[in-house]
Chains A and B, each alone.
Chain A
Amino acid sequence: AQSVTQPDIHITVSEGASLELRCNYSYGATPYLFWYVQSPGQGLQLLLKYFSGDTLVQGIKGFEAEFKRSQSSFNLRKPSVHWSDAAEYFCAVVPDQTGANNLFFGTGTRLTVIP
């Protein structure tokens, strides 16, 4: 079945440590790929997106993500985590590049940052 998988439900990191959140998808063609962040009590905010071209994309708040076609992955990274990064992170996919904006989400990864 087609899906977006975020294998880590909850991750805890120390402030200043590096971070990698995993995302895998199982759609046939290369989809459009997104990472969103949800702070408590808020809606979702776009961190970054990948459509084509350079497989390393930069986003807001110092985040980046790398598209690896061979692994069907789009992992999110940050070199040094800040306490304000504590939130829930969602990987999302638009499977059909010819269609409209039907976004399918992973189940999310909750990030806790400890001092």
Chain B
Amino acid sequence: EAQVTQNPRYLITVTGKKLTVTCSQNMNHEYMSWYRQDPGLGLRQIYYSMNVEVTDKGDVPEGYKVSRKEKRNFPLILESPSPNQTSLYFCASSPISGKSPLHFGNGTRLTVT
């Protein structure tokens, strides 16, 4: 089954403790992206990647890192999480064309205390 898999689904952590949210897709998509969803703000793009070893900042990249060493994986790294990073995070992927709709994972709800 074609899918985007994020792990974990839920995560509670403390300020400053490094964490990684994994994202994997099995559709051989070139494009992958991370979004955060906050009430009243919709989804805002954090980082995106057009292919292996090609990443770029989205609208809200501060406090996040990503890597794209393999085509299928696009982990989101929070080196020193802070409470304002408490949010619902979505990973998405698609073929490279702007006409291709995004396939979304089921989300990771992160709480930073």
* A contacts, CB < 8 Å to B: 4, 6, 9, 32, 34, 41-46, 49, 51, 90, 94, 96-108
Contacts and interface: CB of A to CB of B under 8 A. Distances in A.
22 contacts: A6-B42, A9-B40, A43-B4, A43-B90, A43-B106, A43-B107, A44-B90, A44-B92, A45-B104, A96-B98, A98-B98, A100-B31, A100-B50, A101-B33, A101-B96, A101-B98, A101-B102, A103-B45, A104-B45, A105-B42, A107-B40, A107-B42
B54 to A, nearest CB: 10
B42 A101 contact: no
A101 B94 contact: yes
Interface of B: 4, 31, 33, 35, 40-45, 48, 50, 58, 90, 92, 94-102, 104-107
Contacts of A49: 99, 101
Contacts of B100: 101
B99 A51 contact: yes
Contact of A43 (B95, B99, B101, B105): B105
Contacts of A44: 43, 90, 92, 102, 104
Nearest to A95: B98
Contacts of A94: 98
